[in-house]
């Protein structure tokens, strides 16, 4: 998203997720970011990633309702990135699509709130980042804007044929009684249960390590641990004119060969 925004000379407004409450989304924080942004630009769009990237949280239904009401009140176009919807691991967590919640809320929300929801083959568990294709569904979009969207999409090249074939399998998977159904379900469950096991393992091992704290990985493909760096490391980072987390990541790469991403690049605290 940040690359597309930069290309279009638009402005990105960051908002913080609540780490103390397992990376929940707080509408009060959205209001703060919106008010701050309105001092120098005209915010149009609210982008939500659920299940979360890079924080691995799964937003509750109540949270989604609150966000839809907020978008309605503030006349914001909602972009719901839901590409990890199959990857939900934590007990008590469940994926709720923005479109489903929007329609269940009924008028006036279901008739007014503009929503684009995204799904992808190249994330989650199906394409495992090798295949490239996906789709966007739009509801309540202004007809003139939708015309421009159709124009933009029609001048693009299509994705590779294998990706298109796989997308068909994503939107119309084998059904009970189909020859491939049992194999499909077995493979799907095997992949997702392995990912759930790794998610559990990741948070357990992080939380055993001194100076590292990690929220439960509820979904998606990411954990977002907090690493407390000692004063000498902070001083060494400053001496090299690096952000402390970037300093840590570079040291980790040089000394272990393990490459991780500094958290500051995601605009969280």
Burial label, 262 (beta-carbon count in 10 A; 0-12, 13-18, 19+): middle
Residues 79 and 148 in one domain: yes
Determine, yes or no, domain membership for 110. yes
- Low-confidence residues of the chain, pLDDT below 70? 127-128
Nearest to 16 by CA among 1, 31, 6: 31
Domain limits for position 145: 1-171
The answer to whether position 31 is within a domain reads: yes
What is the per-residue pLDDT for 133?
Answer: 86
Residue 12 placed within a domain: yes
165 and 236: one domain? no
Looking at residue 124, its pLDDT comes to 77
Residues 238 and 166 in one domain: no
Cβ atoms of 168 and 174 closer than 8 Å: no
pLDDT score, position 52? 94
Quote the pTM value: 0.90
Domain-embedded: residue 9? yes
The dihedral region occupied by 235, where left means phi > 0, alpha psi between -120 and 50, and beta the remainder, is alpha
Q: 161 and 237: one domain?
A: no
pLDDT value of position 102: 98
* Token pair recorded at residue 208: 């055993």
Instruction: Kindly state whether residue 185 falls inside one of the protein's structural domains.
Output: no
Same domain, 146 and 236: no
Residue 157 domain-assigned (yes or no): yes
Sign of CA dihedral 71, 104, 115, 80: positive
For residue 88, the model assigns a pLDDT of 94
124 and 242 part of one domain: no
> Residue 183 domain-assigned?
no
Asked if the structure places residue 14 within a domain, the reply is yes
Shared domain for 238 and 138, answered yes or no, is: no
Residue 18 has a pLDDT of 93
Q: Are residues 26 and 94 in the same domain?
A: yes
Whichever domain contains 84, its CATH number is: 3.40.640.10
Total domain count for the chain? Answer: 2
Q: Which of these three, 120, 145, 171, is where a domain ends?
A: 171
- Is the same domain home to 237 and 144? no
């Amino acid at each position: 998203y940040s690359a597309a925004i930069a290309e279009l000379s638009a402005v990105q407004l960051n908002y913080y997720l609540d780490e103390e409450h397992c990376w929940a989304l707080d509408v009060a924080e959205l209001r703060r970011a919106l008010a701050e942004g309105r001092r120098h630009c005209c915010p149009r769009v609210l982008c939500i990633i659920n299940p979360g990237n890079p924080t691995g949280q799964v937003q509750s239904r109540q949270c989604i309702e609150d966000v839809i009401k907020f978008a309605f009140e503030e006349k914001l176009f909602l972009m719901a990135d839901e590409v990890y919807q199959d990857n939900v691991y934590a007990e008590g967590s469940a994926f709720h699509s923005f479109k489903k919640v929007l329609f269940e809320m009924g008028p006036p929300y279901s008739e007014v709130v503009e929503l684009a929801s995204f799904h992808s083959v190249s994330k989650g568990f199906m394409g495992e980042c090798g295949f490239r294709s996906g789709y966007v569904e739009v509801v309540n979009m202004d007809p003139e804007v939708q015309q421009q969207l159709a124009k933009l999409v029609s001048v693009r090249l299509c994705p590779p044929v294998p990706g298109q074939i796989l997308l068909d399998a994503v939107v119309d998977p084998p059904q009970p009684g189909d020859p491939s159904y049992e194999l499909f379900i077995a493979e799907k469950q095997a992949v997702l249960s392995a990912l759930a096991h790794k998610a559990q393992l990741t948070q357990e091992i992080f939380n055993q390590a001194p100076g590292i704290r990690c929220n439960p990985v509820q979904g998606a493909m990411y954990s977002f641990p907090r690493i407390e760096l000692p004063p000498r490391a902070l001083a060494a980072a400053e001496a090299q004119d690096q952000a402390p987390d970037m300093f840590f990541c570079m040291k980790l790469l040089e000394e272990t060969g393990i490459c991780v991403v500094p958290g500051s690049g995601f605009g969280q605290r």
